[in-house]
Amino acid sequence: MTRSSALSPALTQTTVRERSAGAPRRASTGQILRAAEREFGRDGYKGASMSAIAAAAGLPKANIHYYFGTKEDLYRAVLENILDNWLGDATVWIHPGASPRAALDGYVRAKIAFSRDRPDASRIFAHEVLQGAPNIQTYFNGALRQHVQTLEDVFRIWQRSGQMRPVNGSHLMFCIWAMTQTYADMSAQIGAVLGRATLAPHDYDDAATTIVALVLNGIEMN
């Protein structure tokens, strides 16, 4: 499925430099973003270095600076990419043409899969927010708020058609985000309670099934 772009204009102006378009450029920037996500997730913004990111990406350090300029620009681009993926999943699943059951089941499972496959992304985002979101506050106030309002419009359509209880749409999304992202942010705690060093695939499946049941029991009409 194609994701819709949710990039903030304010952030975009400070991230990837305008260069010639084409597949090699897209491949290089994607390679750099994946490596940077791992490095920032493991060592934090201060601990990660452009040299380490270049080594992880298998590219010369000059390539990193060519496409992203500074470490701050690269960090913002990583945050931007994380949010674009999260909001893209919501756009794919939550729309007026879907049923609440199919939409929320699909979205919750997509978010759990993201926490399973890209835990560093969630940790980077959590750390940024705990610091007061200095790099993405403009995004929160603009693009994110607008996106959640769009989701609330979908929820109101479902509510008017009798498919969904009159719950607060914003708080519903906050709950889904918190429940799904904890399997990345708190995986060590969850693993310890379950008695294993790392979570197994069935743990994520069980988590998704549990969260879907809780969400649907809270929003579906009797």
Whole-Å CA distances, 100 to 94, 105, 156, 163, 196 = 8, 8, 11, 7, 35
Output the CA angle 200-205-207, nearest 5 degrees. 95
Rg for the chain (alpha carbons), in Å? 19
Distance from C-alpha of 64 to C-alpha of 60, rounded to nearest angstrom: 7
pLDDT tens profile 52-81: 999 999 999 999 999 999 999 999 999 989
What is the homologous superfamily of the domain 9-219 according to CATH? Tetracycline Repressor, domain 2 (1.10.357.10)
Q: What is the mean pLDDT of the chain?
A: 88
- Give ∠ CA 110-112-118 in degrees, rounded to 5: 95
Q: Which residues are CB-neighbours of 207 under 8 A, at least 6 positions away? A: 112, 180, 183
Domain limits, the chain: 9-219
pLDDT at 221: 82
Give the tens place of pLDDT for each residue, 106-137: 999 999 999 999 999 999 999 999 999 998 88
pTM above 0.85, yes or no: no
Contact 216, 104 (CB under 8 A): yes
Average pLDDT over residues 171-176: 97
Q: Are 126 and 181 in contact (CB under 8 A)?
A: yes
| Per-residue pLDDT tens over the stretch 157-168 | 999 999 999 999
For range 14-32, the mean pLDDT: 60
Identify the pLDDT of residue 80: 85
